[in-house]
Structure 1
Amino acid sequence: MSDVSLSSIHVYPLKSTAGITLDRSYVDLSGLSFDRRFILSDLNGDFISARKYPQLLHFRTALLPDGLHIVAPDGDSITVHIPELFQNYRQVNVWGTEINAQLCGMQFDEWFSNKLDIECQLLYFGDQSERGTPRFPDKPVAFADGYPLLLISEASLTDLSERAGIQFDMRQFRPNIVVDGCDPFAEDGWSSIKIGDVVFDVVKPCTRCVMTTYNPDTLERFAKSEPLKTLATYRRNDKGEVEFGQNIIPRNEGIIQLGDKVELI
């Protein structure tokens, strides 16, 4: 493990939109700062995902000291200042879990409704929002699918691309932490690791869905449902689900940055 290091860091402030690549990040108990802290839902409170609306992948965000700047695919933009958000909360459903989420404001709801051509609302994981992970209810998580962070090794992506004969992009798999210097799928065998100031527990493989089949630049689907087709030949679990990457939970808060060594605990 002495040669394994942190090679990239990614946050997705608004769930299902394009990620932001960072040189360093603060890790709190809910994951990387600003990661999946905003979410879109329909008027029934069910969250809106790029699984159904892949155009979300072309919405870009930029972090501000007090909020988020959001740019639509047509170049139009809007800025969210967290101190100015409504103090009203509403339930949003993320994979069967009801979360008390802070309403951002009607101007944001109207902006996104016009851009996506669906009635929707923008919500924030505010001070009154609480959610635990599926297996460890005492461990907090914001609007991520189930766990605070996702880790993938560059070697695992290389292995998958070689097997499929297609060069896949790490953006298809939306990791938070990418590491380099290990064998393909070495992360499957890790129990706990330390990166920078933070210790992480490796708790569960990540099951993959149709979002991985979209080209992040063109939004076109890869032929034959790749990379799921190739993953299914050697990365199925006992339930028949396809796995790629590992969900991890931080034990403590601290800073991680590019080049940090990954220590096996």
Structure 2
Amino acid sequence: MQLDEIYVHPLKSGRGIEYSQAYAGISGLLHDREWLVVGADGNFLTGRTHPQMVRIEIELIPGAALLKAPAMDPILAMATVYDTPVECQVWGDGFVAYHGDQQVDRWVSQVMGEPCRLLWLGQKPTRCQKDRDDALSFADGYPYLLVNQSSLEALNQELAKSVTSRHFRPNLVISGAAPYEEDDWQTIRIGEVSFEVTKPCSRCVLTTVDPATGEKDAGTEPLKTLIRTRQLPEGICFGINLRALNEGVVRVGDQLEVLESRYAF
């Protein structure tokens, strides 16, 4: 088994950047989910309700992020400008993030079709992971999401139109395992970094958004098929959530080793 794909999503619900290697920290891959769009009421916005977000691209530049979107001129968000602390919430977690450039807000608002603000996580995130004091980004609940390519292929056999790993917005995509073998893992190592498997990842309507076009599938696939085939105690699941147990660089081609399984046979 090996690591085949690595994705960093600098903007929550924005397009991911594919890398051949990345720094894996306790709080997630470096620069993953460090920018967030909030509405006029301060609530965070995602591709669940605003599918056009998946077409927002970010090019990372030292100390800044260059935002791009179809039919829009690019705009630069400088991290040093984002120095105004504001209260922020992601799925009930209240913490402090940072606001800055109103010109960038106008750009984002035009893309989103409503008044919005862009927030930055900051150099020292104040949000904590579930049941521990380690920092967490703007991710839904856990620092990492892993998808098994064999599980994706098994799902695609059930679908009239295939989907890609990008539909599930993973950080790590692995190959060489049996379909849904990841359900049984408890601790794994990829290259020099060990990970605890926290739970299967429950899925939502965002999986129905085409990552290339930003359009929702008319038949609500692949979620419709997952509802039929992947009902687990944790919900409708595909992929697994992880926490890093140490820090290091992960690289495409790194071997994956299962250190501990949930079940012994």
| TM-score, length of structure 2 as denominator length | 0.93
Aligned position for 2:263: none
Aligned position for 1:201: 196
The correspondence for 1:173, drawn from 168, 193, 214, is 168
Aligned position for 2:30: 33
Aligned position for 2:262: none
The correspondence for 1:99, drawn from 69, 86, 95, is 95
Does structure 2 conserve the Cα–Cα contact (< 8 Å) formed by 1:100 and 1:128? no
| TM-superposed deviation, 1:106 | 1.4
Does structure 2 conserve the Cα–Cα contact (< 8 Å) formed by 1:29 and 1:251? yes
Aligned position for 1:245: 239
2:1 corresponds to 1:7: no
| TM-superposed deviation, 1:169 | 1.4
Aligned position for 2:258: 264
Q: Secondary structure at the match of 1:191?
A: strand
Q: Secondary structure at the match of 1:242?
A: strand
Cα pair distance change 1:33/1:128, threshold 3 Å:
closer
Does structure 1 conserve the Cα–Cα contact (< 8 Å) formed by 2:146 and 2:242? yes
Q: State how far apart, in whole Å, the 2-side matches of 1:19 and 1:86 are.
A: 22
Aligned position for 1:118: 114
| TM-superposed deviation, 1:58 | 0.9
Aligned-residue identity in percent: 37
Q: State how far apart, in whole Å, the 2-side matches of 1:127 and 1:26 are.
A: 16
The correspondence for 2:138, drawn from 109, 125, 143, is 143
| TM-score, length of structure 1 as denominator length | 0.93
| TM-superposed deviation, 1:212 | 0.5
Does structure 2 conserve the Cα–Cα contact (< 8 Å) formed by 1:140 and 1:148? no
Does structure 2 conserve the Cα–Cα contact (< 8 Å) formed by 1:102 and 1:129? no
| TM-superposed deviation, 1:93 | 1.4
Q: After superposition, give the CA deviation of every residue in 1:199-239 in whole Å (9 maximum; x if it has no partner).
A: 11011111111010112223332242111111112211236
Does structure 2 conserve the Cα–Cα contact (< 8 Å) formed by 1:101 and 1:128? no
Name structure 1 gaps, 5 residues minimum: none
Q: State how far apart, in whole Å, the 2-side matches of 1:59 and 1:223 are.
A: 22
Aligned position for 2:219: 224
| TM-superposed deviation, 1:117 | 2.2
Amino acid across the alignment from 1:211: L
| TM-superposed deviation, 1:128 | 5.0
Q: After superposition, give the CA deviation of every residue in 1:107-160 in whole Å (9 maximum; x if it has no partner).
A: 2112211222211111111135311223x2323211000000100110010000
Q: Which moved more, 1:160-169 or 1:253-262?
A: 160-169
Name structure 2 gaps, 5 residues minimum: 260-265
Q: State how far apart, in whole Å, the 2-side matches of 1:60 and 1:99 are.
A: 26
The correspondence for 1:46, drawn from 22, 43, 46, is 43
Count of aligned pairs between the two proteins:
259
Let me know the Cα RMSD of the aligned residues.
1.4
Q: Secondary structure at the match of 1:164?
A: coil
Does structure 2 conserve the Cα–Cα contact (< 8 Å) formed by 1:41 and 1:47? yes
